[in-house]
Amino acid sequence: MSQVLITDVAAVTALGDDIEQLWEGLMAGETGIKPVRHFPVENYISKYAACIEDLTLPGNLTENSRIRILLDRLLEKMFPVPADSFLITATTKAGIDNLEQLCRGNRTDTQDILLSTILDIVSQKLKLTAKGININAACASSTIAISQGAAMISSGRANSVIVCCIDIITEFIFSGFSSLKALSPFPCRPFDRTRLGLTPGEGAAAILLMSEDRVKKDNLSPLGRVLGWGVSNDATHITAPAQDACGLIRAVRQALKRANLKEPNIAAINAHDTGTVYNDLMELTAFKQVFEEHKVPVYSVKGSIGHTMGAAGGIEVALGLKALSTGVIPSTVGFSDPEDGAKGLVSSKPIQISGDYLLTTNSGFGGINAAIVLARKGVQ
């Protein structure tokens, strides 16, 4: 089994066009959540989202989806990606903004609506020669994409895998979450007793995974490792999490087992933690059951960059590496009055961590849960 090394990451979020900007914003407790301007929101539960500046201006309609602009901005931050890298993309709705235009009777590029289009765009931009796949597993899409990439490298099926994940905020998504009463009327408050729902965010991330041999051959310096991964379905409900957290518990235990780690080895947990009443309770239940008396610090970035859906796992893996390398986890913006079980674990300030391993989790519609264990650079 080959080690799975991460050699490059990039992310574009409402807090900036690169990881450094994003990290500085998180350390300063900033939020990119603002009133939505690019479609009317007066009839929805919320007026807020974490949108990326300048993807489009109001009224400036083109036939291309906003995903193309976002992918351009993401990929220009990447170092050259080996042309033989296997590509795995992840998105929940691709260029769904174009479907809106189509339904409204406007001219639009229907190709951008297809989920496989992300694969085509990225492959062309990076001039990749190997084939790839797009993965759709709701808000766990990119976590599963990274897990699949890691498994390919670990098993020797590939020696370089590039994972690209992306989702944008559109009226389609906003109106849908509003109709489900899942949107928070105020910027989301993860793990807070007063939380009322999620705040959508848009974002994209790219993660380059390589085998040890390939890293040596290409003379690269890894940023960290993917040590373990696990995926499991609740088999309980398609839009609500299982109250007993059975799926997330299984996913976390699989990831720890594959990483060959015990619970006390984990220095911190990046929780999916959308700020919805039931998701947050489910996660606290899972962490309590898995980690028992071990008080592992937990954080969520959703109060800063919103819930970036299919891109969430990729962005959070990139941030997890940063947390491990700096020894600090970000504040959970929006958190002030702890939910039962969150007191002493979640903080509204950045906190120091000690240890070499970080767990990151995501869950999504369809009952899917995914977990990844990351190792700090240099740890064997």
Partner 1 sequence: MIASITGIGWVTAAGMGCGRKSDSFSMPAGNLPKITGTVVFGKPYKHFGRMDEYSRVGLAAIAFALKDAGLEKCKKKRNIGIIASTVYGCLHTDIDFFNTVIPDGGLMASPNLFAYTLPNCFLGEAAIHFGLTGEGFVVNDPSHARLTSLQTALDIISWGETKKMVCGVCDLGRPLIFGQGKKVPPGSLFLVIEKSPESNLSTYGELNLDKDDSISFNKTKIADLTSLVNECIVNKNRK
Contact 269, 301 (CB under 8 A): no
Residue 317 engages partner 1 in binding (rule: CB under 8 A):
no
Cα separation, 370 vs 137, in Å, equals 10
Whole-number minimum distance, CB 241 to partner 1, in Å?
12
250 scored as a contact of partner 1 (CB under 8 A) = yes
In sequence order, the β-bridge partners of residue 314 are: none
Question: Which residues is 311 bridged to in the sheet?
Answer: none
* Helix (H) or strand (E) segment spanning residue 284: helix 277-291
7 binds partner 1 (CB under 8 A): no
Cα gap 72→68, rounded to integer Å: 6
For 5-23, the DSSP string reads EEEEEEEEBTTBSSHHHHH
Check if the beta carbon of residue 313 is closer than 8 Å to that of residue 360.
Answer: yes
> If binding is defined by CB under 8 A, does position 111 make contact with partner 1?
yes
Whose Cβ is closer to partner 1: residue 184's or residue 331's?
Answer: 184
Q: Tokens 């991964």 label which residue?
A: 229
Residues 45-64 that bind partner 1 (CB under 8 A): none
> Does residue 270 touch partner 1 according to CB under 8 A?
no
**Which of 83, 103, 277, 379 forms a contact with partner 1 (CB under 8 A)?**
103
Q: Is residue 144 a contact point for partner 1 (CB under 8 A)?
A: yes
Site for partner 1 in 194-233 (CB under 8 A): 231-233
Cα torsion angle, 240, 302, 342, 286, sign: positive
One residue of 10, 33, 75, 113 binding partner 1 per CB under 8 A:
113
* Residue 293 CB partners (closer than 8 Å, separation 6+): none
Q: Is 256 a binder of partner 1 (CB under 8 A)?
A: no
What are the residues binding partner 1 (CB under 8 A)?
Answer: 40, 42-44, 92-93, 96, 99-100, 102-104, 110-111, 113-116, 119, 133-138, 141, 144, 148, 151-152, 154-155, 157, 171-172, 174-181, 231-239, 246-247, 250, 364-368
